[in-house]
Amino acid sequence: MKTDVVVLGAGIVGVSVALHLAARGRSVVLLDRRGPGEETSYGNAGLIERASVIPYAFPRDWRSLWRYARNNTPDVSYHTRFLPRIAPWLMRYWWHSAPQRLERAAQAMLPLIERSVAEHDALQEEAGISGFFRRNGWIDGVRTQAGLAQAVADAEALAPYDLAYRVLDRAALAALEPSLSPRLAGAVHWLDPVNVSDPGAVTRGYAALFERRGGRMARGDARSLQASGGGWRVQAEDGPVDAADVVVALGPWSPDVLRPLGYRIPMAVKRGYHQHFALENGASLSHPVADIESGFVVTPMTLGVRLTTGAEFAPRDAPPSPVQIARTRKLAGELLPLGAAVEREPWMGCRPCMPDMRPVIGPAPRHRGLWMAFGHAHHGFTLGPVTGKLLAAMITGQAPEFDPTPYRLGR
């Protein structure tokens, strides 16, 4: 099989890259060992997070550091034996989280964040999946008046970004979401973000649009990638695929493919979990709600209310741990009358994170025709379509809408 471009990875980023390349007239094969949207793109809170203009930084105050060091919080946990291995990466993450460097990261990410909703909108209607999209924002809930005051202050500090939000006291929050318990003292309701009821189905819908545009799907092992005759070859189940260009969009597995080519990617993963629950006593939920003091999100999804956890630092391929779901299940049950779990076991996925809190998007520095699109951390679902558009422009020699330099690997 010969094609112009082979895209490795059928998550939201890889599917979006393939879609935009096909729209520019390139023949494209999208290769993955599984179906589209079955890994990290399946298990998230379903947010297109237009309001997250400041990246998730490493805490630098001693109170937060001591809190997390005890390893008993609902929002962050770690495997003790893994700490020596990840400590160098954590130190780089901490270094990049200093105020001036965090501001540079925020400015680098802003062009992507600002276009996130618009680029999803450009695809979802043609894909015929508009029914999954809800334009009611999301809610940052807090349990104390002190927490509400801090949340409002944090929102006011984002005034330069011209984000839309409203402050909800307890009565206003109860009017908006009557089934939430009075344990939430109030909230900040962010209005710019969009949320979806099934992120995996959205990714599959984009993949179906890719095929309607003439793209081809293939099953195969991306680790078989090798240079071949001035281009690239990868083995699919139906035989080899040859292409002039290859895009590595494999999220947390990208370093596995790039390491044999001599690239050492400074990536770590933040593992996360979700599980769906039924609601009891006629309760309902219409907005995603974050308990920002506890570090979890509950989102109304097709399968039920999805409880999504914070970050677990552990080896990427280590067996799942029930710790975070167990901690957050109890806390979430204080906010909503959660009933039986829909799945027998929680789902686990891995967020691919770079220490400077920005993804890698662009050409490889030492190999012609090798392109990269990974490392989106907590915002892969948010930034998939805008990443696809940016990289497709670069591959086809078109002028990108904004400067891609902050995302180059050699930064």
Q: What CATH number is attached to the domain comprising 258?
A: 3.50.50.60
Confidence at residue 403, expressed as pLDDT on a 0 to 100 scale = 97
For residues 91 and 111, give the distance between their C-alpha atoms in angstroms, rounded to a whole number. Answer: 27
Q: Is residue 315 part of a domain?
A: no
Q: Is residue 160 part of a domain?
A: no
Q: With 90 as the cut, is the pLDDT of residue 229 above it?
A: no
For residues 86 and 268, give the distance between their C-alpha atoms in angstroms, rounded to a whole number. Answer: 8
Q: What is the mean pLDDT of residues 144-161?
A: 96
Average predicted confidence (pLDDT) for the chain:
96
Q: What is the mean pLDDT of residues 169-183?
A: 97
Q: Is residue 33 part of a domain?
A: yes
Comparing 43 with 285, which gets the higher pLDDT?
285
Report the percent of the chain where pLDDT is more than 70: 100
Q: What is the mean pLDDT of residues 264-287?
A: 97
Q: With 90 as the cut, is the pLDDT of residue 120 above it?
A: yes
Q: With 90 as the cut, is the pLDDT of residue 164 above it?
A: yes
Q: With 90 as the cut, is the pLDDT of residue 322 above it?
A: no
Q: Is residue 306 part of a domain?
A: no
Q: With 90 as the cut, is the pLDDT of residue 206 above it?
A: yes
**Judging by DSSP bridges, how do beta strands 138-142 and 216-219 pair with one another?**
unpaired
Q: Is residue 370 part of a domain?
A: yes
Confidence at residue 59, expressed as pLDDT on a 0 to 100 scale = 93
Q: Is residue 232 part of a domain?
A: yes
Comparing 39 with 259, which gets the higher pLDDT?
259
Q: Is residue 26 part of a domain?
A: yes
Confidence at residue 169, expressed as pLDDT on a 0 to 100 scale = 97
Q: What is the mean pLDDT of residues 306-310?
A: 96
Confidence at residue 40, expressed as pLDDT on a 0 to 100 scale = 87
Structural domain that includes position 129: 1-57+97-134+193-266+355-411
How many domains does one find in the chain?
1
Report the percent of the chain where pLDDT is more than 90: 98
For residues 331 and 348, give the distance between their C-alpha atoms in angstroms, rounded to a whole number. Answer: 19
Q: Is residue 347 part of a domain?
A: no
